[in-house]
Amino acid sequence: MSWSRSTSTSDDDILGISGKNHPFPLYRKFGVPIALSTDDEGVSRIDLTHEYVRAVETYGLNYADLKQLVRASLDYSFLPGDSLWHAPGDFARVVPDCQSDIPGADKPSSSCAAFLTASEKAEQRGFMSSRRRSTEAAECPLPRNGITSALRRTS
């Protein structure tokens, strides 16, 4: 499966493509994995948080949409090793080595630990810590207008 990278601010500034004229909604409609990115922050003065806020404000993304973008950015990254996910773009099932594990458990099984150790890509994704999982449960789902505010607080 192919993927697309989107530098919305750059596309707007350089190519004059934005909003409904940008292919972002079309890619999403047809299931093309998308990873948000930025150009050189030193030149463009735009960071990744800005791109996520812009995507939320422009395309009405919700928290689940943002998680999908983040997962795709790791799954389709150039990090070495296999993905934690069973199939590209399928973020519902993990690889067989980690299927018996519960995200947020204090310690992964020996087979999952070995898999995570052997793959930098999978290790970066890993399983959510119990602290992060409980934080996410307490904060989600965020209301649509709350996402923008929450993202702005991180920048």
pLDDT in tens, 126-140: 654 444 555 565 555
Q: How many CA within 13 A on the CB side of residue 3? A: 19
Average pLDDT, the chain: 74
Task: Tell me how far CA of residue 66 lies from CA of 60, 115, 147, in angstroms.
Answer: 11, 26, 10
pTM: 0.66
**Does 146 have pLDDT greater than 50?**
no
Torsion of CA 108, 97, 32, 141, to 10 degrees: -30
Q: Which residue in this structure is represented by tokens 């500034």? A: 13
Confirm if 72 and 24 have CB atoms less than 8 A apart. Answer: no
Task: Give the pLDDT score at 111.
Answer: 93
Secondary element (H or E) of residue 35: strand 34-36
Mean pLDDT check: name the lowest of 38-47, 89-98, 139-148. Answer: 139-148
User: Cα–Cα distance between 13 and 17 in angstroms, integer?
Assistant: 8
